[in-house]
Structure 1
C-alpha cells in the first residue's frame, strides 16, 4: 500500500462517517479513527532503526538533571533479575493512547506477549509498542511525553 492508497483510504473513511477502520497485512497495520472516535490516526510499521544527529544534542539535557542518573544505575544492578523493554525507534514516549484515556500499564501490572505497553510518536505517526515478554512491570523508566532514542530502556519487567 503506497501513500496515495493511504490518503484515499483516509478520505473514504472521513466521508463514510465511521468512527474507526483497521487494515492489517503481514507488512504493516493502519488504524484510522475519525473525530467521532477522538480524532487520532495510528500507523504502525515493522520497527525501523533511525539515526539522527539532532537527537545526540538532546541527550545531554537529561544528564543535567539529578533524578535520571540514579535511575540509570539501578537497572544495571537489577539487570540479572529483570528484562528490559526497549524503544524500537526515536520519537516521543506516551503512556496513554490519547490524553483523555487511561495509561496502558502501571507498575505492578501483568503484561503478556503482544500487549501494548506504550505509544511512540514519530513524525506525527503514533506507533503502538507491544511487549515481547510476559511478566510483571517493576519500573517505568521514562516520563510521559518525553523524547526517547532508539534502544533506550522504557520498562523493567520481572519475568517470574
Structure 2
C-alpha cells in the first residue's frame, strides 16, 4: 500500500497535545474549557482519535446524541487528521462530508476513529468511525474531504 491509499507512511507533524492547544486558539467555540466537548485523544501515522463528551447540550429528546453533534465530531476528526499531518494551517476547510447514522448514541463519550485515505497537495480524504463509549458499538460512519491551503 502506498502513501496515497491510506498506509501508515503518513507521518504526523503534531501530536494530540499540540493539536488540542492549537484548536483552543483557532476553534475555541468547540475546543475550549477545562475538558473541551471535542478534543483529540491521540494522533498516529495516517490517523487520529477524537472524542466528544456528549452532555445535555448535545442531546435531543430520548437522550440521543444529536446528528449535528455527531457530524461535528466527524468533521473535527478530519480537521485533526489534517492539522496533525500538514501542520498549523487553520484555513484547511471541509469541502465535503457524508455521514451515515447507524444507531442511537446515548449521553457520555463518543470516539471518532479517523483514517486518512489520501493526502495530496490540495486535498485530504478521510473516513471516521464513530463509536459510543457506553456500548462500544459503531453509531455512525463518515467520509470527507478537506481542502488544504496552498504553501506560502
**What TM-score range do you get, normalising by the shorter chain?**
under 0.3
**Structure ID, larger Rg:** 1
Query: Larger % of strand: which?
Result: 2
Between 1 and 2, higher relative CO (CA 8 Å, sep ≥ 6) is seen in 2
Question: Taking structure 2 as the reference length, what is the TM-score of the superposition?
Answer: 0.26
